[in-house]
Structure 1
Amino acid sequence: MKAFALIPLISCGLLSACGGGGGDSDNTVVETSVNAGTDLQIIEKTEFTITAQGSPADGTFSWQQVSGPSLEGFPLDGAEQTLTAPDVKTDSEIILRVSYQSTGSSAVSDDISISVSSNNQLPLAVVTQTSPETLPSVYKDTVTLSALESSDPDDNGQIDSYLWQLLSGPDLDIASFNESTLSFSHPLLESNVNLSWQLTVTDDEGGEASTQYSMTLNKTNELVDANAGADQNVEEFEEVTLDATNSETVTDTYQCKWQQLTGNSETLSNSDQCTTTFFASDVDTESTLSFEVTVTDSKGRTDTDSLFVDVSPKALGLINDSGVGECYNNTQRINCESDDFPAQDAELGRDSYANRLDKVGKGNLAFDYTKLNQFADEVGDDSSDFTCIRDNVTGLVWEVKSESSGVLPNTSLREGQNHYFWDLGDTTFTDTSTANSTCPDDTSCGVQSYINEVNNLDFCGGTNWRLPTYTELLGLIDYGKQGQSILIDEVFFPNMPSESALSHLRYWTSQTAADGTSLSQAYIIDMSDGNDLAYPKENTAYVRLVRSR
């Protein structure tokens, strides 16, 4: 392409001076032009020359790049330029523009197009084995093949992707065939096996190259490898799974046989299967179980492996559960595993493990009571001759009331029908006029008088009898008996008073009710419905004493 511009030129006649006062003058227009040259087709990274021509000849040339992959050095001055084509990933076009300006004229310009062809060099695929450090590899070694030494000879090229293919050899457990490295575990082999791999690498311009790599995996001396699994840490009552399915043999099939070596005897669901389960037994302290599996292949070859299971006590606390062992929806009993009514009392806490608790004595669900005689010695669970009860969960010893022998106040000291007002600690009143009224005491029917008399007897081997706290007394309530007239286990706590005597079964606790206005009330718990109540201390209620061992 050629660009032009017109400029006027003035010439003087021979007969008249140019500066004279008259005569004709000649105005001539001179054309200015520039030509950037013929469009070029070149290959990347090669030298090429561009030459511009301008008219009239006294002008100056200036080059600039308009578009395309960047060339170094622009802008440039001068008609002729020698340049080096850039390294391109794909065929590209560069537009250069030359501007030309002669004396007294405006600048003119022209463009030249330079087509640059990509000349990609194919990558080089290289495979090396980088692990294990000691060769040859053996069973269970991690074998790693690397393609990181593969390269792209282009100055600014790089490898974009990798593809591994196993052309021959056994099935291997490989996470990915598209990474720069490939790893697998040396398998169990009855004889040496040759593996053949093909690696294909692709560069950032789409160029591909492949190579093949051969290696040998050696046979294994022991052809059965038993795997009992990792050691485990569980809590009591948890279901434990023993899994030997990661064992290996060179035959297609194998059998397993589990046996317990040490620890509390557990019942395996199926000791002849490679996967078996059991529920960890009730433990009081940390304990360890050990198990062994024997794996036998179809040719009778065997191997054994063992594992340890550490069992710790579950954090069930040192108080009794509620005694509720069933789950309900809004209207009826349901399976406790229902997702519509989750986290019910029967599926939480100590009671939910009642059928697996290793009890010292007996009791409903998780309640665990032992009968004691008058000397605090244990007697049989079925004995009818007992004086107090040891709660094996809390460790507390409870008073058992004696049989009714008469009508108030002509009763014996520890009869269940006796009832007392609350006069412990800093109370606001003292009432000695109550002697031999609701109890057979000659001094007062206050709680303190009763406690003193029982401690003077060295009753059931102790002199530290007292009123129970709110929490201690509540721990005797069995809410699973809801709807019955008495919510305490009468097998262990017989001789309950007749509810008609006081129209309730309220028992004192040792805790004053801080109601914000006075200290005139203490908490009671009603054994007929399980409710608590802040109760005036001058009123009477029943008493069941307790002591720590």
Structure 2
Amino acid sequence: MVGVFCILLLLAGCSGSALDSDTNQPTPSVLVNAGANQTVNEQSSVVLNGTAQGTTDTLTYSWSASPALNITHEDISSPAATFVAPTTTETITYVLTLVVTDGNGNQGSDTVEFQIVAVNEAPSAIITVFDPIINSAFPAGIEVTLDGSDSSDVDPADSLDPIAAWRWQQTAGTDVLNNVSLNGDSIAFVTPILDDPNSLSFELTVTDQEGAQDSVTITLDVLSASQTQPTVDAGVDHQVFSGEIILLTGEASTSISSGLPLTFDWLNDSELVPVINNRSAEKTYAIAPLVTQTELVTFTLLVTDAFGNEVEDNINVRIKPLPLRNINDTGVTLQASLTQNGTQHQSAFPGQDGQRGQDIISENGLLEKAGRGEQGFDFTKLDAIGDEQDETSQDWSCVRDNTTGLVWEVKTDDIGLHGNEHSFNWYQEELNGGFEGNVGSAGLTCNNSQCDTEAYVAAVNQAGLCNFYDWRLPTPNELLSIVHYGNVTGTKIDLNYFPNTNDFVTSPLWYWTSQPSADGVSDDASQTAWAIDFTTGNDNFLNKSSLIKIRLVRGGR
């Protein structure tokens, strides 16, 4: 028995020596297993998990990665976490470490390796055609653009530059890519002009940043020269009043030189039958007929080429009845080109004053007037007691503007109260902008006792011009309403109704208005008032002490 005990003792001593040599480190208080190593695809969602055992049941988990990754770990009391495998062009290894802490502060850790494998999906080649197709085919002789910029890659290495290269080639048909760069995202070429219809085929190959490719082919049918029709544009829809100019500004062209010349024919389908000035012109005009209610008229431009191809386009023009007027037009009926003004219609320059408004309606004979007057102006002469006078009368003292309803003073060529030589400084006790102006004196060139505007208004009202007693200075807009900008030489007013206004046609011919000006203020008081120059039609502010003309008005406001 003693021998057996010694043998056991020797065995025990040998066993202890072996264990001590194999386990030099103490057993950790927290045992952790981060899981098995894995291989995953780029951009895939990866689930992390692990197990742990510590000195307490309460454990706290923490994941980290090298190189760094964005790990989502919402509950640190659980080992479960996720991350998205990053985009890569080659296999890359990430080492993830799980550190676990128990309730006594003891820690343990373990690592796991993830190999991220590059997975590249091929790009998608796309061709877009931006040019017009006629009956599923392209005209001959036109420029066509094929655009590949919409080509895409669902897993780009660089989201800002997903496609690394484009490569174009023509695979069928007459060569149209000579001297055309084939390495851009688009190509442009001119369709061939041939006697027979033909087809052109093109291939686009795109390569993504990781070397994958995709190709797409497109075939374009091209018309023959004689099948290629002209293009035509009849203009834009618009509306006018009766008597105004209807703009027929057509445009037509052909890509086939042998298709020239083009002929034009303007047509309309309306029972109103507007008169077209020149039906065979590409650009022309018509006079809007008189209507009592709004009418819609369609004009069609028919274009024929030398092959006999006919193409048409149309515009709709809404014609409205003459409007009720309470403001005058400018008097301008001339139309301008790039080099001159004239009476001819300028189709190439639409929307001018001379194509719209009361003046051109009057010139076309569709403006009804209560009286007479140049262009769109409508005036009636009144005698000394305010009665209407015949148009031919040479004895009138006032003029009624039948458009605005205002009644105007007429100047005389003598030295009487209304003499055209008299001048006045501006003076107004009320509504003067803080400064009344200077009271006039008898030594100035007027026939009333005080040569200022307010004194003159009082004198005219006392005399009862044309049997009216409410004369006043006009506002700027009222005085501008009788400016005749259509008079290209001489005073800008209808001298048939406002005689004795043309004494100073080579220099400013200012007339006062009732409006003080905010310009020229001193100590918060306006030192100037607005005036209108009947030589140019311009307005300006003048010092209130300036001696200039007056034309009084009544009515309105």
TM-score range, shorter chain: 0.3 to 0.5
Radius of gyration: which is bigger? 1
